Structure 1
Amino acid sequence: MPRVLVFALVFIGFALPALAQPQDDLERLRRAALTSDYAYRQVAHLCNNIGLRLSGSAQAAGAVQYVAEQLRQLGLEVRLEKVSVPHWVRGVEAGTLTRYAGQVPGTSQKLALTALGGSVATPAAGLEAEVVVVQSFDALVALGREKVAGKIVLFNRPFDRQMAAQGQAGEAYGQAVIYRGGGASAAARLGAVAALVRSAGGANYRLPHTGALRYASDAPQIPAAAVAGEDADLIAALAAQGPVRLRLTLTPQSLPDIESYNVVADLKGSVHPEQVVIVSGHLDSWDLGTGAIDDAAGVAMAMQTAQLLKQLQLVPERTIRVIAWMNEENGLRGGRAYFEAHKGELANHVAAIESDFGAGHPLGIYAKANAKALERLAPAAAVLDRQGAGLIQPAQEVGADIGPLTSAGVPGFGLLQDGRTYFDYHHTAADTLDKIVPAELAENAAVMAVLAYSIANLSEALPR
């Protein structure tokens, strides 16, 4: 997850129109979700039994087969749609401060760091250079090539924890993550031999946060890693006292692309089977933890939408399509491949829903849709308001995998969740099953199911 989410700071309230579907069915669906452990059991299996699911890994392949079989058991029409994905393998990663002011002779200090996804390797024996600390791209440029060439650049931009605590975690992440994405190339243009970034996350437990970088075509590719917040502070403090040298060893490999799949499963509609409402999450994860909040939770919510409808014998008028996306984390190839394969059918894509922001208590729905479409969500919002999740907020982005669809005009929706602690664990070794609160996961599953079924049963498709 997720790309940056920007919300309008407004509450959208509507007068409740005549309902196009029985509101009691939506309430039955909501109540059933809140009392079910189906989604939690799916997250548990994906995290504990299968484990990490980085694109190209054996675990990712196993997860595809597991989710496909679970959806077949529900009676859905399941197919695997091919996606060529990157196969990057982490390898050894180590960092040691070898020279600094006040150093006790014969000692050094180890750093908590992790390679950024897609990074090239250092020499097998590592490299050693002086560290230059900056807080911004502008500060880097101001130093100039003379002070950067041959050195390791540390981008020490802190994650704004107060902003996250006030409900703007996505915005705080956006301010920090730009250095992860573009820092290596910016440093390389000035002759740096490697780049470090302060982890883009909120918790200071010496947890480095991985994530994909983007090498620019106009710059050399240099090794890059994220350091824990505490170690970024350590380096900065020592650099203020005098030269700091660091030995960095990273041995990742970028292997040939490998064939993988999006899992696509249809619960056929009874009136307009050709029209589709997507519910989705991404199946791949980073390789440090087991991807519970990012994003086994989203996949499980989508699976539970179909499971609940089957359990309650509720037949949608339009097809509800469950998608477990592959390769959101380091390429977005699943979302792009789906768009290319189905771009001739976009007129029949009524809505796309994605959850990729954990499983914190949901407050409602965020939407990339026009005002008339938002008015049609009022019945669902009225039902969800009974659990405190009735807000509807417009957003500029509602999900990375569905981004190609929403950019082409398909109404897009996501879950507006409490993300205050999401970036404490995001992309770290601590993204594990225990971070999921079962009751809150069930609340999120209720939001996705009610929203999807409501849209699927509207008398007319959502306007664009």
Structure 2
Amino acid sequence: MKSVFKKSLSLTALATSLLSIGAHAAPNDADTLAQIRDSAMKDEWAYERLSDLTDLVGPRLSGSAGAAAAVEQVAEAMRKLGAKVTLQPVKVPHWVRGEEKAELVDYAGRPAGISQKVVLTALGGSGATPASGITAPVIVVHSFEELKAKGAQVKGAIVLFDVAFDQEMADRGHAGPAYGAGSRIRTQGPKLAAEQGAVAALVRSVGGANYRIAHTGATLLADNARIPAAAVTAEDAMLMTRLAARGAMKMHLTLTPQTLPDADSYNVIADLPGSDKADEVVIVSGHLDSWDLATGANDDGTGVVGAMGVIETLKKLNLQPRRTIRVIAWMNEENGTRGGRGYFDANKDKLDKHFAAIESDSGGGRPFGFIGSVTPQMVKYFDPLKTALAPIGAGLFERHDIAGAADTSPLERAGVPVFEPLVDSSSYFSYHHTPADTFDKVSPLELKRHVAVMTSLTWYLANMDQNIGRTLKLD
């Protein structure tokens, strides 16, 4: 009996010793995953940080004072948690919005002395009109093919692309493809119109909830043909289409944005060091910049504070991962993705040490689980995580060949597996890139679920025994 008792004592001492040096017998066990999930679901920390970011800083377009203030605010919050914070320098575009107004000054059947205001907002990268504006005929098209068919009629005209956002598609779980179709018109349309001699280009806003609100976003114009370009509300696009059916019309348009020299900015990087695999990294991230029309609560405040909440949750529970967890608040996703590309360039010789990357940039809707670009053979290894998240209704795992997130795209194209929360985005594009993307649109409950999914997924990846491998390299 004495020998058995001594043996038992020696095993206890060994276990205590292992724990004292940070080893974990089963870090992905059900009890630990449940503890992480439940703790996140009771925590207001991320919601409070979202209030700080949106209410105190406000809009955060790259190169602005708001973007600079956000860098300092997030860095300080992570330092207070005890994370190792690094500010990675990034040169970013500095585009500023000027005056923006338009009115229809002539159209068939116009009563004498009447003109009609058009609600619009300049697109990022837009060129400028003279300060006094321009007056030109408006041509309405509904596709790139129709634009091409207009031929010489486009020269000297303002082209309107009236292509509706497919809200029905978004309502049925396909908001991403619906937005992709619309954003292609926004990014490519003005460039194609400029190539045919248009003096300005307008696009119907890419998004739902038609309350006469314009949705901004980036457009791709060549420096030698940077014509004025703006998004008009759905209502005004439909009005101009109806008037065009009656006959010719003219618009007076004033847009005075400026493209200033590139500005100095930063990615905020905060590390929670790992234990026995500290040289390997799991990224969890969101983008810190926002468009200037509102405070970017959904795009992408929820993503940033959700990533920050990962370290806060684990610190509160005194849990140390095996691999290093790296929170990144990317700069300049909206109009350049310089932050993502800058990180890739600085780490392209260390990609074998990047185990996985998570990016959240689909708003603050309800998360149903997560997406991951792993091989089909690896899906089964995520069953314990799915089981842990099922009690909060977030136990789905959708495997994609390519996750397709913006800032982590260079990493993914080079073979790093990328994950995202699987979020209900059916109403996301009602607020996206508009003056309505404000703090009040974010549900505290869904943000807690968001943090629970992000933290559970990050912890799980940081402690997996299996090597999940690489994705299909595209470069």
TM-score normalised by the chain length of structure 2: 0.92
Residue 47 of structure 1 corresponds to 54
| Aligned-partner Cα distance in 1 for 2:197–2:356 | 47
Residue aligning to 2:411: 405
Q: Does 1:233 align with 2:238?
A: yes
The equivalent position to 2:387 in structure 1, one of 367, 382, 385, is 382
Q: Residue 372 of structure 1 contacts residue 463 of structure 1 at CA under 8 Å; is this kept in 2?
A: no
Partner in structure 2 of residue 307 of structure 1: 312
Find the counterpart in structure 2 of residue 296 from structure 1: 301
What is the aligned partner in structure 1 of residue 205 from structure 2?
199
Give me the whole-angstrom Cα distance separating, in 1, the residues matched to 2:382 and 2:345: 29
Letter aligned with residue 154 of structure 1: L
Match of 1:334 in 2: 339
Name which one, 1 or 2, has greater alpha-carbon Rg.
Answer: 2
- For the residue of structure 1 that corresponds to 2:283, the secondary structure is strand
- Between 1 and 2, higher relative CO (CA 8 Å, sep ≥ 6) is seen in 1
Q: Which moved further from structure 2: 375-384 or 154-163?
A: 375-384
| Aligned-partner SS, 2:348 | helix
- Decide whether the 8 Å contact of 1:379 with 1:454 is kept in 2: no
Partner of 1:357: 362
Which stretch shifts more, 282-291 or 174-183?
174-183
Q: Which residue of 2 aligns with 1:372?
A: 377
1:37 aligned onto 2:63: no
**Residue 413 of structure 1: how far off its partner (Å):** 0.1
Give the corresponding residue for 1:451: 457
Pick from 171, 177, 191: which aligns with 1:185?
A: 191
- Counterpart of 1:103 in structure 2 is 110
Kindly indicate whether residue 147 of structure 2 is the aligned counterpart of residue 140 of structure 1.
yes
SS in 2 for 1:287: coil
Give the letter aligned to residue 149 of structure 1: K
Rounded Cα–Cα distance in structure 2 between residues aligned with 1:19 and 1:392: 22
> Aligned letter for 1:127?
I
The residue number in structure 2 matching 1:257 is 262
AA aligned opposite 1:90: R
Q: Deviations over 1:37-59 (max 9, x none)?
A: 11111111100000000000001
In structure 2, what residue type is equivalent to 1:79?
Answer: T
Give 5+ residue unaligned stretches, structure 1: 1-17
Report if aligned partners of 1:19, 1:379 keep a CA contact under 8 Å in 2.
no
Q: Secondary structure at the match of 1:449?
A: helix
What secondary structure does 1:376 align onto? helix
Q: Could you tell me how far apart the structure 2 residues matched to 1:327 and 1:154 are?
A: 28
Partners of 1:188 and 1:398 in 2: how far apart? 29
Preserved CA contact (<8 Å) 1:367 1:398: no
Q: Deviations over 1:202-239 (max 9, x none)?
A: 1100110000001247x722110000000000011011
Gaps of 5+ in 2: 1-24, 471-475
Q: Secondary structure at the match of 1:204?
A: coil
Provide the residue aligned with 2:3 in structure 1: none
Distance, in Å, in 2 between the alignment partners of 1:22 and 1:377 is 12
User: 1:191 is paired with a residue of what secondary structure?
Assistant: coil
C-alpha deviation, 1:19, in angstroms: 7.1
Aligned equivalent of 2:327: 322
Give the distance between the partners of 2:379 and 2:264, measured in 1 at CA.
Answer: 38
Displacement of 1:397: 2.9
Kindly provide the amino acid, as one letter, of the partner of residue 22 in structure 1.
D
Is 1:155 matched with 2:161? yes
Matched, 1:433 2:430: no
Residue 122 of structure 1 aligns with an amino acid whose one-letter code is T
1:286 positional shift: 0.1
1:20 Cα offset (Å): 6.4
- CA offsets 1:322-350 (integer angstroms, 9 cap, x no match): 00000000000000000000111100100
